[in-house]
Structure 1
Amino acid sequence: MLVGKRISDRYKIIELIGGGGMSNVYLAHDMILNRDVAIKILRYDFTNEDELHRRFQREALSVTSLTHPNIVSIYDVGDDGDLHYIVMEYVQGKTLKQYIQEFAPISPARSVHIMKQLTSAIANAHENHIIHRDIKPQNILMDAEGNVKITDFGIAMTLSATSFTQTNSVLGTVHYLSPEQARGGTATNKSDIYALGIVLYELLTGELPFSGESAVSIALKHLQSETPSVRAFDGTIPQSLENVVLKATAKDASHRYATVEEMQEDLETVLSSARINEPKFTIPIDNDATRAIPIIKEQFIRKDEDLTKTRAMEPISQKKVEAKKPVEKVEPVKQKKKWPKYVAGLFIVVIAMFLFFLFATDLFSPKKIAVPDVTNLTVEDATKKLQEAGFVVAEQQEERNSEDIEKGKVIETDPEKDAKRVQGTEIELIVSLGVETVKIDDYTGQQISQVEALLKDKLIIQKNYVHSKLPEGQIIEQDPQEGAEIIAKDATITFTISQGVKMITVDSVANYTKAQMDDYVKRVGLKWRTVREEYNDTVPAGSVISQTPKPGTSLMEGDTIAVVLSKGPAEKPVKTFIKNVLIPYEPTEEGAEQVIRIEIQDKNHTMVKAFDEFTITSDQQYKIQLVIVEGEEAAYKIIRDSEIIESDSFNYDDVK
């Protein structure tokens, strides 16, 4: 058991997650990069196969050059003693086979989405001169988001090239085997296309097109039987989609898609409304192909024999030869040769006939005249000119667009101008429809991929992408608008297309003022609102205490951040203390004024500034009023001529 062991002092084996006839796949942890990986290890009973090991390693190394989001990445290839392994990206999910078994039949839209990922991956491999050779749902992984990744590139062919046999392994693959592979031929790019067609069939129906009791019986069906109709399984499947299956799985590789890219392009538009009811794909008839010739019996030849055709002589049997009597040899009588006279006479006759036809034709044939040039004339004027020349103008007129000849005038004639024809010949006019125009339809709300396929040969398309809550790829606006007629040549239509929702990661806005909140949401494309205000001893009034959602959350553009604003510290209870004091008059000189200064420290005042200031010439009563906050104290001072004559302080609790 390898579970718990460490391979090459780096990969710790966690558990067995899969296996086949020649290797096992384990979930492992890369101790250096601290990540989970999948590690494929060649089984012990094949480790002594030197050729297998070399090919196993060579194929794996070649695939490391592939970088594609739908191909499982290979990180490392190595040996640890007798263990030969390949380290791959770990895809947490299930195989496409498990997905099909759980959810089949898969909807056409979902099937096409999966197939576009697969064709993109295989196209990338083919560009790098790598043929998969063993495409099947068991070799396709699907993650939690529904994205698929292809694995096991080239390994199946590498293993099957060795000296051993694994019938069960072949049986697992033969369901997707192309006819040329079943015939024992070499796998090509088109073998991968065939397997992709079988995978699409299985997605749409949940079944395999060919089954049997043995690998041989299934392989024979790949060679001899046409792929069953997916529409016979489900009549709602568009004919255009069935055509993809039929073309990809054509028995003759020359009738399949030329490349995987061509198949991918077909899938891009296969569900468009313009293609749903297209004719069923049929194999083109090759008149030059070798065919079996039926045996024609002698009696049928006798009835209506074509003497210009070569036919075989009837064989003569030995018995007939023996039955004939011998013929005596007779010396031929020599005659004088007469053929030189005959040849000379025949030559004279031929020359005479040639001269007769050369000159007599011009003598007796009707006179030919040139067809007049009526280009750029109106139909009426052109007709008149042709009739005056002795020609007949055909009632049927061909009409076509022209960039040079205005609408209603003649572009050319058939026969063309200056052609020699006898009088009375019928002349057809080709009349201008004017410059070709295109009437613009309403494309808003449609997917840009479908509209591009519809207009690619008619208009130049310019695309502007904007973030929107509408589905990604949907056309939001167009210019020109519906109903406009524009000149077809170099005509351009501009589409504003949804790029999908823009996601914004929310920052922390704690302690932001209202002005700062306005600036922030304007900059990032959000909105904000106040849900409530509350007292806070630490956050200044008018600033943000808390927010919803929390920082780091992703919001769609235009969403709102809800905040709680501070009202500042909460108001504490107060008490009012009143004290009447007597300020004595004690001048140094009789009758002189004394300056009195009153200072107060309470909720509303500080001693930095005088609360009251006045002069006295006699004793005077004064009422002092202090407002004391809970938990704090208040105080007062009475200063006479710069001398403190009385002061006192009071706690909140001292006041009754």
Structure 2
Amino acid sequence: METPAPDPLFGITLHERYILGKRLRSGASGTVHVAHDLSADQTVTVTVMYPWLVHDHGAVHAFLERAQTLEELSHPGLARTLGRGRDGDHVYAVTEYLQGETLAHALGEGGLRYPPHVALTIVAGMLTALDVAHGAGTVHGELDLDKVVVDGEGGVRVTGFPLLFDAAEDAGPETHTDVHAVGRLLYTLITGVSVAPDVHSLRLSSVVPESPSDLDMLVANATDPNPRYRPRDAGQYLTVVEQVLRSLSGSPADLAADDTRPIPIITDVPEEHRADRGAPVPLWRRVPVLVGAGLLVLVLFAAGWALVPDDSVELPDVVGTSTEEAEERLAALDLELAVRFDEAYSDTVDPGSVAESTPSAGSTVERGAEVLLWVSAGPQFAEIPDVVGGTEGEARDALRRTGFTDIEIVQEHSAEEAPGTVLSTEPGVGEEGDREEPVVLHVSEGVIVPTLVGMAQEDAVAALAGLGLAVEVAEEHHDTAPVGEVSGQTPEPGTILPEEGTVAVTVSTGPAPEEPEEEEEESEEASPSEDDGGRGDRGDHGNGGGRGDRENSGDACDAPEWNQDTVYEEGDQVRYQGRAYEARWWIQGFPPGGSEEWNPWKDKGSC
């Protein structure tokens, strides 16, 4: 068996929270990975944008905007989008990990199908969830068997909403695209025959001649080649599906008894329609249907091959290996193991390598079993660094680099040291500290910086003034914080400053503006006589960034003042609030300053 190429994203940690596991699938948005959320201690899925798209401002904006839209969708039949972010060169979105099996897995490689009323019940669950999405103006666009999860107890959930669409789809897919996909999946659920996404005018009766006419038309209408003749959205199609479902059930009691048991059954799919025509015909298919032994085989197959033992093997020893190597060795077992990660202290294994596994090496594991790999976080006990005499901020940074994250502050009067100076530590400098226990810093008295994030700007300024602290205000776009609300602060809450010390606060100006339309680009080419107040004259008058600014930007302080209407490109320089900045990438309407994580401006220093 050919060994798969190593996944460069496997085992990396995003924002010190999400440890990526094996790749589940790829799509237009990027690669989708199973991951472990260290903060919430749960398994999630993470979609990571392709590296060649990360520097495309428009693609990044569309990716994060779509993720934000999906976060706002709430329905039991939709996988929840839990968050999004950018960590260096990785742009990602986090989605709920669904328990159960996909329809693709339930149907296997062909030859299995659902009874019509069960198939319709599954489809009704899909449409109910999609109706909520369509009502919010959101279209799935890539619905398939591997994007629908069933839990065996009647639960149907839709996942896998793409975060980017093909560049050819300028406006994105429309709701009738999802209707076509649902009609195609209904055809597959009832016939057991998989068809390509672009196939139209499907007829159940061509494979299952005994199909009721209304059921046959239900699939044909949804897959009509002309979108005008399909149901316009999930809600309209759901109404028709429910009508046909009621007509097929003998009574409400019969429906209630069957519609929560989506168990695959054997089908008599014609030979020419089977998914794997070149494979040998299994023995159970060659046995006549009326022979009792054949019927017994069908029952056993429908029950999940209950009498056939599962594949199993001894788990290899992966302690001390990298997460990538451990994943490769487990994948080589060909048992489709579900691998997830967590952290553990280790005195013998280097940080980032596998410290232990659950189950342990030598244990017998069966196909599809879950294996938890504990990744070393280094020793639990470490030496307290010498931070006495430095500032509290410097002490915090040194302790965090050593692995201590729980830091407590005790203020003490000192006639010799300036406020905010570290006087002593507990445990003492050079002693062994437990990384699970707090480190206490005894700091000379001063003013404790309060928590300002979430406060209105005027309230934050008033609070600092009441403590005798000065304030510096910078504005920055923020996706969730309302306009005028503090979205960040430096130094962090709890820091001790001398009286009249300065606290910098970042105030939200609301979400970043959308990417400019083509009309704006055309206006850049207009002559000064046609557009003498905006971007058209930025090269002549220095009113904005643009490429023209770079010609005379030897001294960054000679650059023009930042202008919110100007389009700046990578390398353009501006002045803003007494400092010089350089654009990291294409940007418009985003002021310099603020957090480094998302800031498109590079601080060049004070002017």
Q: Verify same fold: TM over 0.5.
A: no
Work out which of the two has the higher radius of gyration on C-alpha atoms and give 1 or 2: 1
TM-score (norm 2): 0.38
Q: Which structure would you say has the larger RCO, counting Cα contacts within 8 Å and 6 or more residues apart?
A: 2
